[in-house]
Structure formats: structure tokens, C-alpha cells
Structure 1
Amino acid sequence: MEVTLFLFVHRQTKLLLFIIWLQIAVIIAILPTAELMATGTNNTIDQDALLAIKSLIKDNPQGVTSSWNDSLHFCQWQGVTCSTRHRRVSGLNLSSSGLEGSLSPWIGNMSFLRYIMLQNNSFNGEIPTQLGRLSRLQELLLANNSFDSNIPSSLSNCSNLQFLHLGGNKLVGRIPNEFGSLKMLKLFVIHRNILTGGIPSFIGNFTLLETFSLGGCHLGGIIPDVFHRLKNLKRLALPENELVGTIPASVYNLSMLESLFLDDNQLHGTLDTNLFLLQPRLQEISLPDNQFTGSLDASIFNSTELRTLDVSRNNLSGKLVIHSPNICQFVEMSLGFNNFGSMEGDDMSFIDTLSNCSLLEKLDVGDNSLRGNLPKSLEYRSRKLYFLSFASNSISGNLPSSIGNLSGLTTLSLSDNQFIGTIPESIGRLQNLVKLELKGNSFTGNIPGTIGNLSSLIELHMGMNTINGTIPSSLGDCKKLLGLTVEQNQLSGSIPRNIFELSSLSVILDLGGNHLSGDLPDFGNGLKNLNELILADNQLSGELPSSIGSCISLQKLDIGGNFFHGSLPSSMGSLRALQNLDVSCNNFTGQIPGFLETLSLDNLNLSFNDLRAYSKGINKLSLAVILAITLAVVLFCAAMVSFVFFYCLKRKDKHAHDTSNSISATHMTKVSYKKLYNATQGFSVNNVIGKGSFASVYRGDLGLDGGIVAVKVLNLQHRGGSKSFISECKALCNARHRNLVKVITCCSSCDFEGKEFKALVYEFMPNGSLDKWLHWNDRKENMQKELLPLGLLQRVCIALDVAYAIDYLHNHNGGTIVHCDLKPSNILLDEDMVAHVGDFGLSKILQSEPVNTYDSSSIGVRGTIGYAPPEYGIGGKVSRSGDIYSYGILLLEMVTCKRPTDPMFKEALNLHKYASKAMGDHLLEICDPIILRNDCSDPAQFTKNKGEETVSMRKEACLRLMLELGVACSMELPQYRIDIRSVIKELHLIKDVMLDTSTC
């Protein structure tokens, strides 16, 4: 029985094993087919998803998705990576491809995706919530696009996510609390968005985190004390967030930290004295523009790793004690605008201890309270040092001759100290020097002739010293000088002729307050670009050369307190830009010249001369003749008033048929409705080149009578259309300037149906509006025309053209015309890319404007939203400063390529605040990338790194000046805005710097 049972069990076991083996064999046999079927299905899913992504891309300038078609398997499509086993999409890399459009939610169907790299494009709209389906996703890089939604909380489902970069978008709202579950994160970057809610405390959960950056989001609040678990954190960047409070203790315990950026917040308190004992790997500390107090512990300078230390613009104090290590890696040390120093008189000894810092490029300790002498060891400083500032301290003693060994210097600022002795001849060895500031000291002796060797010098300031001797003629060899000031010294002798031949001088030449003598050299054309010429309080004599009339850019001329004689030359009537004229305390004779009436002077001082009152000779005539002339003048004026009155009545006849009225009879020809109708092919939509609220502009061909023109037809059905026509006629009837759009004629008549018709005919501008050139990537039709984007120099020239036009309208037109609608679409470019201001439909002529009058008015809002000044929105009166505001916004748009109506500007953020926040170390982050595309063509030029980009230092300086100018013009309160003449002076400086270097 037992044997039988055993045999039965044995047979059953063998049968079971056979069945199992058979099932395995079948599975093995059909496995390739099943996998093939599955792959085929999933292939369809991935392919469909990729094609859906392609379908929402509106612009593809590099053609990266042109291979996405049936001619290739999708795993071979550009930017697509597939896994080798399943042939599923595992990676998508379309970074820096110029793509524009929205991101399809179908991307969430590619479930095998491990990385998505779409950074540096122009994707907009929402970040798809479907990304949360991608459980395998490890990298999501969407930086530098235009996504403008909330950050989807569904991303928290991507539990394997290690790298999340959403920076440089227009994201809004809070950082989702659900992100606290993303515990695999190594990189978490959401900087430069428009977020709220403070810095989230859940970041303490990211124990693997290496990079954490939330800069430029204006989050507000405090820095949470939750960093004690982030043992791997290397980079912590929280600048420009309006943070308050102190640096929490847990930040100081990040032993792996290499970079700490807390710039431009409102943090206070002292810095931990054990900073480098706890954080020995720190390479960058950037804390400027805060409210830190206390001293800098010597341990900060003992690091063998630290490269950048920037604590400028705080309230730090105390003696700088530096015990430099044997190995010093310092590249930048910026300690300016604090209260460093002591009363001990040896504050400068720290210079000796920097002798090992052979990599040092920038040392700025200006605007402190340092005392003592500059040590001779200065000569051992780094040959890479390009910026050195000790300005505005109490440093005394001689300037050591070893200063000449710092051959890499481009900026040397020693102004407003207590230096004595002579300026060493060795300073002439600083061949790369661009800016030299020695003013406000007690230097004696002669100006060293070797300064003429500084061929790159742009600014030289040596005023307010006790320098004697003569002005060396070698200064005339500094062919790039924009500004030269040696005022209030003891210089004697005559002014070298070649100084007056420096055509580069455009900002200022100030030789006042010396003992200079002799006649003035002939001006020639050397100073035709100069803005300020100050020769006051010297012993100059002779007659004023008539060639002074060649200084057509001169805004200030001060020659008071000399021995000039003779009459004021009539050529001075050519100085149309002149605002301030002081010829007092001389020996000028003759009549006060009549040309002074034609100049728009703000200040005029003719006192203490022998000038006679200006007279037209009437006082010599008899009483009868005077009465007869007076009566004739009165009758003539009455006749003219009557003529103008009846002429205006005639123009109000709305049904006068086919009459065309020229704005200026001497310059314009008559044109009829019929001729304009034919010229524009019946006002065809194909000829429309512009359209606004009050008018449409057509391209027209007047044939032999006038060629190609622009015809602006007023929309008289729109409220304000007729008023716009009248405003434009009044504004332009006597205006003549190369940077204003030229009016050829106008037509006020009736169309073929008897309806009222009004039009203005302008000179045609073949290159269209500035708006088209700035935002060429927004318009597909521009791509078809292959427009090249504007470079920085072109933008500066255009800005200067517009500034000239504003200056003319405000100050040189016999009255004040306020444009009221300055914006890129109203700036037109001719065939040479010279800018012309147009569209005066909202302009206002001020008869006698009190320039800064801001009381309420019933004029309503003038201008365009974003460009109109804030005071107009609350009923403020039209003023010149309103145009300045609009011009400032225009400048900022030219630098950033962002319109003031961009969706990113919401609530308290506007273009002005956006730009002003970036004027520190974030300039290049907000600039139009097109400007930065072409780098320095000369590898010998000095450059410095900004993230992944290397930009010419001079080009960066030009950008910074232009941005600062835009911010200064667009201040919220009118009284703080700068005037247009200062704008022109600054733009000339920028332009000349760029013309002298290939980097711009």
C-alpha cells in the first residue's frame, strides 16, 4: 500500500513538473512577440506625444523639430533619446533652440522620461500639471522661458526628481508646500520669478540638496532656521528678496558651503566670528546692500579658498586686520561704503598682508574711514589688478612710485583723501588706465608729462589740489579723453593748443581756479562735442576767438574772472545748446549782443564788464517818428490778428470740398483727397503700415510729385480723432529738426461720399518703427524680411537721436512742446537707422510752462499705459518731466527688451523697479540676450565671468550706464527725474566709450 502510494505521488510530481516546464517554454516562445507588441503600442504613445509637443511650437528658428516626421524613427529625431531596451523616450533636450509656443500636456504621457531639458527658449503659458505623472523623472530644466502660471503642485509626485530648475520665468504664486516630499532633490532653483509667501521651511527636508537659489523673487519674510540637515549644500543664493532679520545660526553650520549670496536685502546683525572655522570651503561671500554691523573677523581673510568677498554698502566698522595665508585665492575684495577704520593711524597695514594674493583683480575700500599711508608694498600686488579704489578716506602721505608697477589697472581712484607730495612720473606706465581720479587731495609739483602715455585714458580728474607749473602739452596725446578737470590748483602759463584740438572731449574741460594766462588758442573743430567748458578765475586775456562758435554742443560756458576784452563774438549765436553763460568780471565792451535773445539760457551773468544795454536804435529817433512807427506796428498787428481769425474760421468749415491746407506754405505742396486715394490704392489694407486708436497709416506713392510717403488718415469717428489732427498740426507747424518725422503736407477735405476727411502726409521711413526692431522675434513677418537685431551701439545712437528730439521740443522750438506719447512704436527709423520721433496726436504746447507743476488738472490720462508717467493717472498737469518718464521707460525697454506691459509686471513690480533691482550684480541677467551675443573681438581685452557668459567689461559698463540712465529718468516722483540735457551728456559718454572699443 505504501509503495503504491509512493508511485502515485511520484507520477503526479513528474506530471506537475512537466506541465510547469511546458508553461515556461511557451512563455519563452511568445515573450519576444509580446514585448514587440507592447513596444509597438508604447511607441505610438511616445510618438504621438512628441508630435503634440511639435504642434504647439509656433516658432522654430533653428529647425530642431524639422526631423520629427515619418521619414525617421522617433528615437532618431533631434533632441530625443530613447532607452536601448524598450525603445521608449527617456530624454528630451531642446535647450537653447529659440523655440516659442506653449508646452503640450501630452508630455506627461511619455512615462519613461528621465530628463527634460527645455531651458533658454521662449515657452509660455502654463507648466503642464501632467508632468506629475512622470514618476521616473530625474531632471526638469525649464529655466529662462516665459512660463507665467503657478508652479504646479503635481510635480511633487515626481519622487525621483533630483534637478529642478524653473528660474528666469514669470511664475507667480507660492512655492507649493507639497514640494516638501521631493527628498531626492540636489538642485532646486526658482530664481527670478514673481513669487510670494516667503522662503518655505520645508527645504529642511532636502537632505541631499547641493544648490538652492531663490534670488530675485521678492519673497519677503525671514530666512527660516532649517538648514542644519542640509549637510551637502554648496550654493545658497537668496539675493533681492526683501528679506529681514538676521542670518540664522543653521546657515553658519553648512560645512560644505562654497557660495553664499544674500545681496540686496534688509538683513542686519553681525557676522559670525567663527565663519571660516565652520565653513572652510567658502569661495564666494556676497552680502552687499544690507544693514550688517560690527566688524569683520580676521578669520574671514585667513581662508585658503575664498575668492570673492563683497560686503560693500553696509554699516560694518572696525579695523581691517588681515593675516593673509601662504596661499591666497582672492580675486575680488569689495569693502566700500562702510565705516572701516580706527583712530590708530595705521589702518593701511592690511595692504602688506595681501602680498600673496597674486590673483587679486579688484580691491575696493573706498568711502570708509581709513587712515595712514599707502605702503610701498603696493608694488607687489597682483598684475591682474584692474580696479583699485581708496577714494573718500583719510589716507595721507606720498603716493608711492611703486603704483606704476600695477600695469593691469584700468581704474585708479584716490580722490578725497589727504595725499601730499608730487604725482609720481611712474604713473605713466599704467598703459591700460581708463579712469584716473586724484582730485580733492594736497598733491604738489607739476603734472607729470608721462600722463600723455596713457593712451586709453577716458577720464582724468586732478582738481582741488595744489599742483603748480604748466599744463603739459603731452596731455594732448590722450586722444580718448572724454573729461579733463584740473580746477582749483596753481597752474600757470598758457593753455596748450593741442588741448583745444582734442575732439574726444565731450563731457567737461575744467581749467578754472588756476593762474593760467595768455590768449585762448583757436578752437577749430576740436571741442565741437564738448558739453562744459570752464575757464573761470584765471588770468586769461585777449579777445574771445570767434571760432568758439564751433562748439555747437556746449551747454555751459564759464569764462568769468579773467581779463578778456573786446566784444562778444557774434559766432556765439551758433551755440544753440547753451544753457549757462558766465562772462562776468572781464573787460568786455560794446553792446550786449542781440543773439542772446535767441539762446535758451537758464543762467546768464554779464556783470562787471563795460557792456552797454542792447538797443535797436529807436531811442535816437524823434517823438513823432516813434509815434508813427508805433501806430504802424499796432495797425499791422491788428491786421494780422484779423487775418488769422478769419483764416481759422474758414478752416472750421467741415464741408469745404477738396481743399488741402499746407502746414507751411514755403515747404509744402497742396494735395487732394483724390491724389491720396490713388497714391494708397484706395487706402488698401495691403498698404497699411501702422494702426492706432486715432488713425491708420498707409504707404503711398505720389509719383513724380513726391515719391513714397506715409499717409496718416485720422479716424474722425473715434472720439478725439479730430482733436488729434489739430494737436499734431499745431505741434509740427513750425517744428524743424532732423530727429522729428518730417511733415510734407496735410489734407482737410471730404471723401467721395461727402464725409469729412483729414490726413497728414509724412516722409516715408523705410525701416519702420523701433518697436519692430526691438521685438522682431515677436513678429513672424519680420523674420521673413530677415531683420537683424539691434546691437548695443545702434540702440545708444537711437536713444541719442530721440533725446535730441525731446531737447528740441522742450527747449529750442520757441516754446515748449510736450509729446505725451513717447514709445517705441512712435520712433521711426530711416534708411540710415537714424531715429525720428513721430505721432504728435496727443502733444500739448505749453505757452509758459512752470516746468515742475504737478497740481491736478482735468486733462485726463495722456499717453499709453506703461509709458505714461504716474502723475498723469491722478490728474497731474502735462509737463516736460512727463516726457522724461516715458523716455526713461523707453531706455529700459531698449536694454531689457521687455515692454512695460509685460505680464510679469504685476502688483508692485514694474519695469522701473525690475531694472533698478538689477543695477548691482544682476545687470546681465535682465539685458536683452541679443546685446550680449557678440563678445569682445580682442582677446587681450579685460573680461570677467558672469554665470556662463563672458562679457566685455567696457560693454558691461556701457549697459550699466544706460540702465542707470533709464532708471533715473523714470523715477516715480517728477522732481527726482533728471533733465534731458543731462541725458544727452551721459549718452554721448556711452557712445564715445563704445566707439573707442571693439567690445561694444
Structure 2
Amino acid sequence: PREIGMLGKLETLYIYDNQLSGEIPIEIGNCSSLQMMDFFGNHFTGRIPITIGRLKELNFLHLRQNDLSGGIPATLGNCHQLTVLDLADNRLSGGIPATFGHLRALEQLMLYNNSLEGNLPSELANVANLTRVNLSNNRLNGSVVALSSSRRFLSFDVTNNEFDHEIPPQLGNSASLERLRLGSNQFRGRIPWTLGEIRQLSLLDLSGNSLTGSIPDALSLCGKLTHIDLNNNFLSGPIPLWLGSLPQLGELKLSSNLFAGPLPRQLFNCSNLLVLSLDANSLNGSLPLEIGKLASINVLSLDSNQFSGPIPPAIGELSKLYELRLSHNSFSGEIPRELGQLQNLQTSLDLSYNNLTGQIPPSIGTLSKLEVLDLSHNQLVGEVPPQVGELSSLGKLNLSYNNLQGKLDRKFSHWPAEAFAGNLHLCGSPLDQCHDFESSNQQLAMSESSVVVISAVSTIAAIVLLIIGAALFFKHKRESLRRGSEVNCAYSSSSSQAQRKPLFQNGDFKWEDIMEATHNLSDEFIIGSGGSGTVYKAEFPTGETVAVKRIPRKDDLLLDKSFGREIKTLGRIRHRHLMKLLGYCCNKRAGSNLLIYDYLENGSVWDWLHRQPVNSKRREALDWEARLRIAVGLAQGVEYLHHDCVPKIIHRDIKSSNVLLDSDMEAHLGDFGLAKALTDNYDSVNTESNSWFAGSYGYIAPEYAYSLKATEKSDVYSMGIVLMELVSGRMPTDGSFGMDMDMVRWVESHIESAREELIDPALIPTSPNEECAAFQVLEIALQCTKTAPAERPSSRQASDLLLRVFNDGMFDSEKLSPDPYA
């Protein structure tokens, strides 16, 4: 109200995160004692009052996320005490006033996401105490030299403007600068070597400019770099060897440049690398076997280069790989069957436009999450494996222009004929019908002498196999006795030793029992796979069914004992929304640890949202009430890990495929604490370490890119993504979001204007109460996915908010209890 101007002694005015609207009254300028003013997150419209310039004591002005328009008043330059000025996320236009040069005390200048234009005034050179600047997503142009005089920068972001000239070398004077973002502008010239003076630099984004020359070797001194994005420039020369010496490097993007030469082997020492994008360059040579060392890699994009030689089988060791693009190269040899081990491969497997030969390995048919498979324009032969036709998540298939032959399985009949074009000896729907007489003539051509020879060879082979089988049987019996001392099994227990009990009521089980039940961990028993290991279904003669997770074993006594202690601790954790760890087995000779869990018959939330679930009878059960129950259950499980476990447990890899559903469709969060146990087993016996680079593509909190630290708030962010997934039915990396849009921004952009697009079409029609609840869940999800970790709720707060949504009387069924043990 205008009467606010009567409060002449008011010093602090905080009305952020409300639903206030209308214009900010000009009478605000009469509050002559005002020092701090925070109107963030409302719906204020109109212009910023010029009378704010009267507030000589004002040191904090925060008007972000409103609907303010017009120019920035020049009178703000009279507020000489200002240290924080945040006008971001509005519709402001015009230029930056030259009077801002008077704000010598200013430390933070936030003007991003507006429509500002023009050159930066030269007077800004007087503002020499700036620590954080963000002018991104405007239409500003000219040079940024005037803004570069401070030596105290911590972050500097002018992304997505029209700035040109060279990058100012004086940016290297800020030794504490952590994040430098100059992407999507028109900067030209070379990358200044002075940037190597910034020892604290963790994020460097110079993408989408017109930079030339090579990457300066001085950047090798920036040992804390986690994110390097130089995409879409005119940079040249070889890939620097020193990139492999950056221990925390998580993203390396050098696409669409003029880089040449082979990949340096040192690059594969970057075991924390999540994204490696080198496509559209002139790189050559072969892929070294060391590629298997990129244990954390999610995205590997090497397409449109000049690579040659075989695709190394070691690529199958990249268990977290989400996207693999090797197209438009000169790779030769066969497609390695080890690609079938990449169970997290989802966005794309693109090997098109190479010189690959041999047959399509049937193991590709086990990539159950795969959405795009492109093997076109190679020299592949043989039949198309029917397993490929069973990939229910596949949205694009291209096997055209090879030398494939034979009859297509009827599972391929729904694909367009273009997917198989250019294979002259391929037939069957959707192609031309096959002619059976050709195969029958070939059978008649076999002579009687051939039959005799084949019969004789078969008989001899059978006798030899019988002798070998007998020898192996007796050898196995001898080894099993010797192996007994090398196998260690343990079972979970409650806090009371008296209540300790084995996995099965009928007695203990052995390593050999699991091997027998899974045919030595055969691929046909795989039910899931993640970064920590592969999961198998084991059914025993007793009728018990369990899930068995196989993870590699570190051959070190101290580390193995540490891992054992961690697992036993996790085995004592009991919560209705956490997967129950029943026990584990270690086998030194096999080099494996096996974790035994309850088998949950309804698969994962990912299965239900994005492909036909394990139990297809229950397809209709995932209505809105079921999804909301899952959301509450997930939040309660995370809350327990963060707030009720001593010490607390950071999950590190919350995603929909880690949320499993039992026969009652109750949610159970899996893999909790396992990342920490694995890290300790492989890296250190220090169980307090929290710096393991974990997570899955699309679910990773933005601060991970530069901090490499998992926290409760990064777990909350991942949980928020799953909430969005539950409401929208879309994957976090859905292609419909667009190139520069992620799921969070997509929800933000639709929540006010096109809300109906946010709800999964499978839920339509929804009742008014259900629709209201869905949007409430999305609002909670948006809070969980705030860019700044401090602005996110705790998992306990998120759990309470979701429980309130459920218990607001929307369902006829019994309300949920806040007590997870009820």
C-alpha cells in the first residue's frame, strides 16, 4: 500500500516469496531509513520507482523474479551504499545507466534474464569491488572491459549476449574467481593466457564464440577445473596432454572446433569425467583401450571426426554411459558384443556412417532403456537379431544401407521401411515378403555324402565333449572344496544379536547356490544395472526369490574389511521405504561382491513411466493416487537417511530407476549408502569422504559440476527431478525440451502459462482435486530444484509438504501417516 511511505524509520522490508501484485508504490522513496529491501518472487508489475534513488542508506535491493518492465532508473546510482543489486528475472529493457559508476561499494550485480541492450558504460570501471556479476540472457553488446576492473571476482557470467572484442586479460587478476561464463557471445581472438593465473577456477565456459588459436598451456595451472566448455569456436591444434592431469575434471566439451591429431592417452586418467564431447573436429587415430578407465562417464560424443580402427571392447566397462555417439568416422571391425553391458544407455547409440563389419550382436537387445539405435551406413551382415525388436523404449531405429540379410522378425513390422532400406537381401514386413522356395532348394542341395560326413563329425564331437564334461566335473568338485575358505557370506541382523537370522528360513545359502540359480550370473537373469553394478534375479528351489547385485571386489584386505563394515551397517537399517539389504557374499577368486536384496516384483518407477512394466497386469494401477504415494514414500525414505541415520547417509544417485515397487506398489529406495561404501572400498579407508563424483545424467544438481561434493541438498535436487517425472511422465532428458532447456526450466516455463502440458497424458482425465494436487507437487519439485542449494528445502521439509498434499482430503482411501513405521 502507498501508506508504506509513512514508515520513515523502517530499516528492513522483507516481503519475498509471496503472491503480491500491482506496482511498487513511488511512496517507497519516503522510507528514508530503509537499508534492506527484498521483494523477490512476487508478481509486481510496472516500472521500478525512480524514488528508490532517494534511499541513501539502502545497501541491499532485491527485486528478482517479478514482472517489472521499462528501463532501469538512473537514480539508483545515488544509492552509494548499495552492496547487492539484484534486478534479474524481469522484463527490463534499455541500457545499464552510466550512473552505476557511482556504486563503488557494489559487490553483487545481478541483471540476468531481462531485455537489456547497448554497450556497457565506461563508468563501470569505477566499480572495483565486485565479487559476483551476472548479466546473462540479455542483448548487451560491445566490450566487457569496463566491467573487468575488480580483482575480487568469485563469479562472472555474461552468457547469451552480443558482446564482442577480445576477452579482457585483466579477468585473470581475480585469483579467487571460481566460475567464468562468457558463452554464446561474439568474442574473438585468442583465449588469454592470464586465465591460468586463476588458481581457484572451477568452471570455464567460452562456448559459442569466434575464438581462435590453441588452448593456452597456462590453463594447466588451474588444478581445480571441473567444467570446461569451449564448444562452437574456431580453436585449433591438438587436444592438450595436460587435460589428463586435472583430477576433478567432470565435463570437457570441445565440440565443433578445428582440433586435430589423436586423443592423448593422458585424457583417460580423468576418472571423474561425466561428459566428454569432442564431436565435429578433425581428430584421428584409434580409440585406446584406456577408454575403459572413464568409470563415471555419462555422455561420450566423438562423432564427425576421422577416428579409425576397431571400437575397443573396453567401452563395455563404462557402466554409467547414458549416451554414445561415434557416427561419421572410419571405425572398422565388428561391433563389440560388450556394448550389451551398457545397461544405462538411454538417449542414443549411434554408430552410423562408419566401416563396421560383421553381425549385429544380439546383446544390443538387452539395452532396455535405449531410445535411439542407429547403425546405418556400415557394412554389417547377417540377420537382424530379434532381440532388437523387443526394445520397448526404442523410439528411433535405423539399420539402413548395410548388407543385412534374411527375414525380419515380426516384431519389426511396425517400423517404417526406411529403417531397413538399402539392405538388398533383407525381407519381411515392413519390407517385401520373403520367398520360401530359395531356402527349400538350398536344403535339397545337400548331398548324401555331406550328411555322412556331418554325422561322423557330430558323433566324434559328442564323445569329446562327454570326456571334457566328466573331467570338468571332477575338477569342479576339487576346486569347490578349496574355494570354501575364499568365500565369505554374511547376513543382515537387527540391533539385537538374539534376533539375528539367516537370509532363508530353511537355512543358510552359499555362493554356489547363487551361481546355480543365475547360471553363473548369466545375462538372461539381468533385471537392472547401474553405476555400482549389475542386478540379477535369483530363484531358489526353496521358493525364495531375491535380487542379487554384483559389484567388483577390491583385492586389498583393509579396504575389503572397510567395505564389509559399511555393508553390515547398511544391513541394520530398516525403513518401510528403503530396500532391505538381506546379506552379502564375497568371493576372492571370482573378484566379486554380491549384495542380496529383497526382490520387488513390480520393477522400478522408471519401468512404469517409460516402458511396459515387469508385471503388465498392473499397468492401470499407476494412477495419480499411486504416483502421489510413491512421491511421499520416496521423500520419507530420503528423510530417514538424512535425519534419522547416525551418521547420516547421502544417497548420491536418486533417480526413478532406483525407486522400486513392491506387490502393493509401495516405493522402496534402493542403493542407499552404497556409493559411499564403494568409494571407501576403492579410494580410501576414510569413511567420512563425501567428494565422490556420483549421480546420473539428468538428475545431477548443478553445483556438482564445480564442487564435486554430494550433500543432502544435492539429494533433494535429484528427488525433485523424480517428482517432476512422476507428474509429467517425461524423462529428465526428454528431447522435446529443446537443446538449451532442461526439465526444471521446462516446468518453470509452463507452470504459469501452459500448465495442462505438464501433466502426463496417461493421467487424463483428472479430477479437479487431482489436478490441483499435481500442480502442488510440481511447486514442491521446483523448490527442491532451486539453483542455489541453500534455497532448497530439507528432505524432512519436502516430506512434510508432500504428506500435506496427500492428506488434504483428496482421496477416499485412508490417509497416510507421517510415521513411516506405522
Q: Output the TM-score relative to the length of structure 1.
A: 0.49
- What is the deviation of 1:177? 3.0
2:325 aligns with 510
The answer as to whether partners of 1:867 and 1:885 remain within 8 angstroms in 2 is: no
Aligned-residue identity in percent = 28
Equivalent position amino acid for 2:177 in 1: L
| Cα distance between partner residues in 2 of 1:479 and 1:263 | 39
2:202 aligns with 386
| Cα distance between partner residues in 1 of 2:655 and 2:783 | 25
1:605 aligns with 419
- What is the deviation of 1:216? 1.1
User: After superposition, where does 1:168-567 map in structure 2 within 5 Å?
Assistant: 176-276=1-101, 278-322=102-146, 325=149, 328-342=151-165, 347-348=166-167, 350=168, 352-380=169-197, 382-506=198-322, 508-523=323-338, 525-531=340-346, 532-567=348-383
Q: Across the two proteins, how many residue pairs are aligned to each other?
A: 540
The answer as to whether partners of 2:357 and 2:380 remain within 8 angstroms in 1 is: yes
Secondary structure in 2 matching 1:281: coil
Confirm whether residue 829 of structure 1 aligns to residue 661 of structure 2.
Answer: no
- What is the deviation of 1:333? 0.7
The answer as to whether partners of 1:361 and 1:387 remain within 8 angstroms in 2 is: yes
Secondary structure in 1 matching 2:262: coil
With over 3 angstroms needed to count, the CA separation of the structure-2 counterparts of 1:493 and 1:334, relative to structure 1, is same
The answer as to whether partners of 2:405 and 2:427 remain within 8 angstroms in 1 is: no
Greater RCO, 1 or 2 (C-alpha within 8 Å, sep 6+): 2
- What is the deviation of 1:933? 9.7
- What is the deviation of 1:324? 5.4
With over 3 angstroms needed to count, the CA separation of the structure-2 counterparts of 1:884 and 1:541, relative to structure 1, is farther
1:974 aligns with none
- What is the deviation of 1:602? 7.2
The answer as to whether partners of 1:401 and 1:427 remain within 8 angstroms in 2 is: no
| Cα distance between partner residues in 2 of 1:932 and 1:358 | 38
Equivalent position amino acid for 1:541 in 2: T
Show structure 1 runs of 5+ residues with no match. Answer: 1-175, 622-731, 744-759, 806-825, 838-850, 852-865, 874-878, 903-910, 935-1000
2:593 aligns with none
With over 3 angstroms needed to count, the CA separation of the structure-2 counterparts of 1:569 and 1:220, relative to structure 1, is same
User: After superposition, where does 1:55-70 map in structure 2 within 5 Å?
Assistant: none
- What is the deviation of 1:585? 1.3
| Cα distance between partner residues in 2 of 1:791 and 1:414 | 36
The C-alpha deviation readout for 1:247-274, integer Å capped at 9, x for no partner, is 1222111011111000011111111224
The C-alpha deviation readout for 1:407-442, integer Å capped at 9, x for no partner, is 111111000110111111111122111111100011
Equivalent position amino acid for 2:420 in 1: L
The answer as to whether partners of 2:86 and 2:109 remain within 8 angstroms in 1 is: yes
1:640 aligns with none
The answer as to whether partners of 2:179 and 2:202 remain within 8 angstroms in 1 is: yes
With over 3 angstroms needed to count, the CA separation of the structure-2 counterparts of 1:920 and 1:266, relative to structure 1, is farther
1:107 aligns with none
The C-alpha deviation readout for 1:472-516, integer Å capped at 9, x for no partner, is 22222110001101101011111111112211112x111110011
With over 3 angstroms needed to count, the CA separation of the structure-2 counterparts of 1:384 and 1:180, relative to structure 1, is same
With over 3 angstroms needed to count, the CA separation of the structure-2 counterparts of 1:497 and 1:232, relative to structure 1, is same
| Cα distance between partner residues in 1 of 2:345 and 2:417 | 18
1:930 aligns with 795
With over 3 angstroms needed to count, the CA separation of the structure-2 counterparts of 1:578 and 1:251, relative to structure 1, is same
- What is the deviation of 1:932? 8.7
Show structure 2 runs of 5+ residues with no match. Answer: 439-607, 672-718, 723-735, 737-750, 800-822
User: After superposition, where does 1:901-980 map in structure 2 within 5 Å?
Assistant: 925=791, 927-930=792-795
Confirm whether residue 797 of structure 1 aligns to residue 621 of structure 2.
Answer: no
The answer as to whether partners of 1:767 and 1:833 remain within 8 angstroms in 2 is: no
The answer as to whether partners of 1:580 and 1:604 remain within 8 angstroms in 2 is: no
| Cα distance between partner residues in 2 of 1:586 and 1:192 | 59
Determine which structure has more spread, i.e. the larger CA radius of gyration: 1
With over 3 angstroms needed to count, the CA separation of the structure-2 counterparts of 1:455 and 1:772, relative to structure 1, is closer
| Cα distance between partner residues in 1 of 2:635 and 2:658 | 20
Q: CA RMSD in A?
A: 4.5
The answer as to whether partners of 1:307 and 1:329 remain within 8 angstroms in 2 is: yes
With over 3 angstroms needed to count, the CA separation of the structure-2 counterparts of 1:833 and 1:370, relative to structure 1, is closer
1:150 aligns with none
With over 3 angstroms needed to count, the CA separation of the structure-2 counterparts of 1:736 and 1:519, relative to structure 1, is closer
Secondary structure in 2 matching 1:547: helix
| Cα distance between partner residues in 1 of 2:310 and 2:636 | 55
| Cα distance between partner residues in 2 of 1:400 and 1:869 | 46
| Cα distance between partner residues in 1 of 2:391 and 2:773 | 37
The answer as to whether partners of 2:60 and 2:84 remain within 8 angstroms in 1 is: yes
User: After superposition, where does 1:45-124 map in structure 2 within 5 Å?
Assistant: none
Secondary structure in 1 matching 2:170: helix
Q: 1:769 aligns with which of 613, 629, 654?
A: 629
The answer as to whether partners of 2:188 and 2:209 remain within 8 angstroms in 1 is: yes
- What is the deviation of 1:371? 0.9
| Cα distance between partner residues in 2 of 1:569 and 1:234 | 68
2:392 aligns with 576
The C-alpha deviation readout for 1:885-934, integer Å capped at 9, x for no partner, is 989x99xx9xxxx94566xxxxxxxx879988998856863x44327999
Equivalent position amino acid for 1:737 in 2: P
With over 3 angstroms needed to count, the CA separation of the structure-2 counterparts of 1:604 and 1:483, relative to structure 1, is farther
1:957 aligns with none
| Cα distance between partner residues in 2 of 1:922 and 1:491 | 41
Equivalent position amino acid for 2:240 in 1: P
- What is the deviation of 1:567? 1.5
User: After superposition, where does 1:483-882 map in structure 2 within 5 Å?
Assistant: 483-506=299-322, 508-523=323-338, 525-531=340-346, 532-597=348-413, 601=415, 605-614=419-428, 737-738=613-614, 742=618, 769-770=629-630, 772-773=632-633, 796-798=654-656, 828-830=665-667, 881=761
The answer as to whether partners of 1:580 and 1:603 remain within 8 angstroms in 2 is: no
Equivalent position amino acid for 2:44 in 1: L
The answer as to whether partners of 2:171 and 2:195 remain within 8 angstroms in 1 is: no
